[in-house]
Amino acid sequence: MRDPNTPAGQRAVLITGCSSGIGLTAANALHARGFQVFATARRLSDVKLLRSSGLQALLLDLTDPVSIEKALADVLQATDGKLYGLFNNGGFGQGGAVEDLPTTALRAQFETLVFGWHELTRQVIPVMRAQGHGRIIQNSSVLGFAAMPHRGAYNAAKFAIEGLSDTLRLELRGSGIFVSIIQPGPISTKFRENGLQKFHQYIDADNSVHAEHYQRTISRLAKSGDNSRFTLGPEAVVEKLLHALQHPKPRARYRVTTPTIAFAIAKRLLPASALDRILASIH
């Protein structure tokens, strides 16, 4: 088994969802620290931008198994069949009340955030087993353990990722492969902008009983700048990512931002009825 303290320059890390936000920040930060970074995006225009900035970049569409297989094959060809780390990050957040959510929208959410991540992870594991070590890091969310209204599709997908990751961590005990979950709260990215596009694509806001709430949501998402005083930059997530990649004993979970920490404590201490009152008041 190769020593997990191998110099960073000998560690190849594959990151999904690098067109902006957390993925882009992570790719640049790891590259600056000497990791061999493979940054991926689902649009060719974004891949070209990543390459122009000096990153090794590949096309990877998480909804396309062929794209996943090809991207990983290209990575392994460049690394002599080795891969130290995988950071599953790519995706979007589908808004809308559960009763307004078409099944096609829920399926699209899971295709990216659950099935795509699962397929890539499943293909990576044999590589890490063969080399005797590896790090799999899943970028979950506070919504992966604290469900909030009008975010049912995203809640469900992140809850699913948490369950799959916990199971995988148990199944990989003793293999030298560590599985960690990062749980960000509000982070300054293009996530709201992308979520607004998906909301308009699938939700009939004007004819919903939730129309008044939706109008407030649309106004909030359309605003420029950060909406919460608790919002942190994507580098806060990267700090946890680096610990998960480099520490000899990485944590099972890393919580990022004050709201995530507060809700984790509240869920552990409060009865469901009290927690429901708090979560129901969030817009």
User: What is the full DSSP assignment across 57-71?
Assistant: EEE--TT-HHHHHHH
Out of 154, 202, 214, 254, the active site residue is 154
Query: Shortest CA distance to 184 belongs to which of 88, 90, 257?
Result: 257
93 in helix, strand or coil?
Answer: coil
From CA 104, how far away is CA 88, in angstroms rounded?
23
Question: Percentage of the chain surpassing pLDDT 70?
Answer: 93
Instruction: Give 6's pLDDT tier (boundaries 50, 70, 90).
Output: low
The model's pTM = 0.93
Fold of 8-280: Rossmann fold (3.40.50)
Q: Given the structure tokens 């899971």, which residue do they identify?
A: 110
From CA 112, how far away is CA 95, in angstroms rounded?
15
Averaged pLDDT, 32-42: 97
**Which pLDDT tens digit goes with each residue over 137-184?**
999 999 999 999 999 999 999 999 999 999 999 999 999 999 999 999
Is 154 a known active-site residue? yes
Q: Which two tokens stand for residue 27?
A: 């790719």
Instruction: Give 188's pLDDT tier (boundaries 50, 70, 90).
Output: confident
**Domain boundaries defined on the chain:** 8-280
- At 20, which amino acid appears? S
Q: Which two tokens stand for residue 214?
A: 């939706």
Sheet architecture: strand order including 253-256: 56-59, 36-41, 12-15, 85-88, 134-139, 177-184, 253-256
